[in-house]
Amino acid sequence: MILRSALRIIDADGVQSLSMRKLAADLGVNPMSIYHHVANKAALLDGVTRLVTDGARHIEVSGGTWQEQLRQLAYEFRTLSLAHSNLIRHAFSVDDVIQRDGPMWRTLCAVLRGAGLPEPEVERTGAVLAVLVGGLLHTEVNGTMRRLIGEGEADDTGFSLAVDLLIDGVAARV
Amino acid sequence: MILRSALRIIDADGVQSLSMRKLAADLGVNPMSIYHHVANKAALLDGVTRLVTDGARHIEVSGGTWQEQLRQLAYEFRTLSLAHSNLIRHAFSVDDVIQRDGPMWRTLCAVLRGAGLPEPEVERTGAVLAVLVGGLLHTEVNGTMRRLIGEGEADDTGFSLAVDLLIDGVAARV
DNA sequence: ACCTGAACACCGTTCAAGT
DNA sequence: ACCTGAACACCGTTCAAGT
């Protein structure tokens, strides 16, 4: 309940304006009571991040070429990020979004394996793609993308172009 | 002098621990005096970011294939980012690093043009590459890269692999 | 086991008063 | 023009005292 309330405040006003005291007020509780359930503010933010990323535990890529599967996976990650952009913006800046061996990670490696990438390169290429797409989403969530590309285009124009380019890059080594 | 002193504190202890009061102490000055030279803390951080990014105004790519030039440019950006990683980490999170029509941007577009990319795609592809590399550097500066790839490898292994993949992606459309 | 009030050591910022 | 002390409205966190 604490985490959900914190997430509500973050979604509404940003991480910047979440304080233990405001959170307590939102919960109708004494500010100090919170410290009996969460160690400190950093742990609170960590908990909220896990709440959100665990919410996307079930990731499925239906059939299609490996290119379509990669694209689908990237958009899945994007949907997750944009649903709570204020939180994700913070989580990226403290390194807390991409979980190695998480469901996203496993699916990614499976798709790369299916694409015919030689086994010793699967994990490394997976990691590279994960940070590239993660970083890409960070630029979308912090406004850089909109500033550089967004001029009157569809919201996902930049993201889509970038994913195309990454897929071509992977294609060059299968 | 204010900006340089702020940068010193940020390099040493991170943006987190820069306060107007600490900065004043470092300068041997009354905390309130600073407000006569800078509007507020956000403006201060913005000024420090400009101080650093303007320091890299002269970007040259010597001859070689366009692939080598792109790689060289990417590493130039990386050097700039890692030289003040605490600051850049913050600047990325508020969207303040990549300057459209900055020297980096112009060089990037020139290289893409030289690679033979059709003119209408030069700017768009340039923007996509800029956010991809920017986001990539953010993951390096915040530790994600090290966590996912760094295990005993050279420091720039992940970055190098990612740049290879991006170059292959560009190659697919020239 | 959980709650709470008071307190500590900080913040950014405003503003009237000084030189 | 620049500086400064006091003050305001906040922070996160600790801790002894309560139930």
**pTM tops 0.85:** yes
pLDDT for position A133 = 98
Q: How does pLDDT run across A85-104, given as a tens digit for each residue?
A: 999 999 999 998 998 888 89
CB within 8 Å: A135 and B130: no
Q: Which CATH code of 1.10.3720.10, 1.10.10.10, 1.10.10.60, 3.40.50.10070 fits the domain covering A2-50?
A: 1.10.10.60
pLDDT for position B15 = 97
In percent, the amount of chain B with pLDDT more than 70 equals 100
CB atoms within 10 A of CB A38: 19
Nearest in space to B105 (alpha carbons), one of A149, A106, A3, A118: A149
CB within 8 Å: A165 and B161: no
CA B16 to chain A, closest CA, distance in angstroms equals: 12
SS (H, E, C) chain A: CHHHHHHHHHHHHCHHHCCHHHHHHHHCCCHHHHHHCCCCHHHHHHHHHHHHHHCCCCCCCCCCCHHHHHHHHHHHHHHHHHHCHHHHHHHHHCCCCCCCCCHHHHHHHHHHHHCCCCHHHHHHHHHHHHHHHHHHHHHHHCCHHHHHCCCCCCCCHHHHHHHHHHHHHHHCCC
Nucleotide closest in space to B37 (CA vs C1')? D2
pLDDT for position B153 = 80
CB within 8 Å: A142 and B173: no
pLDDT for position A146 = 94
Q: How does pLDDT run across A141-164, given as a tens digit for each residue?
A: 999 999 999 877 889 999 999 999
Query: Are the CB atoms for A71 and A168 separated by under 8 Å?
Result: no
Q: B14: helix, coil or strand?
A: coil
CB within 8 Å: A144 and B134: yes
CA A143 to chain B, closest CA, distance in angstroms equals: 6
pLDDT for position B56 = 79
Q: How does pLDDT run across B28-83, given as a tens digit for each residue?
A: 999 999 999 999 999 999 999 999 998 877 788 888 999 999 999 999 999 999 99
CA B138 to chain A, closest CA, distance in angstroms equals: 7
- Flag whether residue A72 sits within 8 Å of chain B, measured between CB atoms: no
pLDDT for position A124 = 94
Q: How does pLDDT run across A101-110, given as a tens digit for each residue?
A: 888 999 999 9
Place of tokens 């993308």: A145
Q: How does pLDDT run across B80-127, given as a tens digit for each residue?
A: 999 999 999 999 999 989 998 888 999 999 999 999 999 999 999 999
* Fold match flag (A2-50 vs A60-173): no
- Flag whether residue B143 sits within 8 Å of chain A, measured between CB atoms: yes
The residue among A45, A121, A138 with the most chain B CBs within 10 A of its CB, best to mutate, is A138
Q: Which of residues 76-105 of A touch B (CB under 8 A)?
A: 89-90, 92-95, 97-98, 100
List chain A domain ranges: 2-50, 60-173
B60-173 maps to which CATH number?
1.10.357.10
